A and B are shown apart, each in its own frame.
Chain A
Amino acid sequence: MLESIYNYFIMDGYGIFIWVAFGLSFVILAGLFVQSIRLFRSSEKALEDLQIQVRQDEK
């Protein structure tokens, strides 16, 4: 059982290339996604704050 799991991760000796390729893809795409969400949230916060300020100024 353990040997078959080990062999799966080793992948005929190419495991290091394969797992790095999949890992890098995950890191880059997840990073881009998280950065986009942060950009969206910060833009919403900035817009809300300014809208409050505009309303206060108009009063």
Chain B
Amino acid sequence: MINYFANPTRFLKIAKGLQPIVALIAVGSILTGLYYSLIQSPPDYQQSETVRMMYVHVPAAWMAMFCYVALAGFSSVLLIWRHIVADILAKSTAPIGACFTFLALATGSLWGKPMWGTWWVWDARLTSVLILFLLYLGYMVLYNAFDDRSRGARAAAILSIVGVINVPIIKFSVDWWNTLHQPASVIKMDGPAIHSSMLTPLILMAVGYTSLFIWILLIRARAELNLQKVHALKIRLAKV
């Protein structure tokens, strides 16, 4: 299956067909999710209206981790099978993941000020997410740090695979250490602990963010494939 998608021409064909579908899901889910988040869902009995920040903060935090796992997955495929599409997908995932991580940190900070009385605290959850953000930045810097693109891609891939250890640390940090951050209330063994009136917008926003990630990933991957062709053509012209 990996070899099937490794063909750039086949990948382009699939990406072109998939793009309008994910675009439709992304726009539909986010607009419906925003309606439920800002109008339909009730305020929380403890956190009052501030709970609405959950609908942008939590999906961003999920996507921050999801994008990193995807980045490490693409990087593994690149290192094992040397597929060019995996390289392109990994390179395209990094800035999207960095944006979601930045959003998780910024919206978390905005939520933390009224609820905890502080914008930032060096506890396990917040610090591990900050490390995730630095890993994304490190990946992008390392990728572009070499004159030889393939060397940069391999070095960055190794960094992303090593850094994946941070993802379970983020997930379980609230269980392993004392932290201001609340424990998991949606993805847990005995099911979600939040009411359906709040779960609905949360799921809608999560679906919207996931589709948006795929949509932007496909656009960026197609751009990167074009740039690789440009690079190859330039070499060909230089030889002539």
Classify chain B's interface size.
35 or more
* CA–CA, A29 and B43, complex, Å: 26
Q: Which of A11, A14, A22, A44 contacts B226 (CB 8 A)?
A: A44
* CA–CA, A29 and B60, complex, Å: 10
User: Using Cβ atoms and an 8 Å threshold, which residues of chain A touch B102?
Assistant: 28
Task: From known contacts A11-B52, A28-B99, A36-B220, infer whether A46 and B230 are also in contact, taking CB-CB under 8 Å.
Answer: yes
Task: From known contacts A11-B52, A28-B102, infer whether A17 and B226 are also in contact, taking CB-CB under 8 Å.
Answer: no
Task: From known contacts A17-B114, A21-B57, A29-B99, infer whether A47 and B230 are also in contact, taking CB-CB under 8 Å.
Answer: yes
Contact indicator B49/A32 (Cβ below 8 Å)? no
Contact indicator A40/B43 (Cβ below 8 Å)? no
User: Using Cβ atoms and an 8 Å threshold, which residues of chain A touch B99?
Assistant: 28-29, 32
Docked complex: A7-49 residues within 8 A CB-CB of B: 11-12, 14-15, 17-18, 20-22, 24-25, 28-29, 32-33, 36-37, 39-40, 42-44, 46-47
Count of CB-CB pairs between chains A and B under 8 Å: 94
Task: From known contacts A28-B102, A43-B227, infer whether A12 and B49 are also in contact, taking CB-CB under 8 Å.
Answer: yes
* CA–CA, A22 and B226, complex, Å: 34
- In the complex, identify which listed stretch (B103-111, B142-150, B157-165) lies at the interface while the others stay far away: B103-111
* CA–CA, A53 and B60, complex, Å: 44
User: Using Cβ atoms and an 8 Å threshold, which residues of chain A touch B114?
Assistant: 14, 17
A57 interface residue per 8 A CB criterion: yes
Contact indicator A25/B60 (Cβ below 8 Å)? yes
Q: Count chain B CB atoms within 10 A of each CB in A21, A22, A36, A50 and give the residue with the most.
A: A21
Interface residues of chain A, those whose CB is within 8 Å of chain B, are 11-12, 14-15, 17-18, 20-22, 24-25, 28-29, 32-33, 36-37, 39-40, 42-44, 46-47, 50-51, 53-54, 57
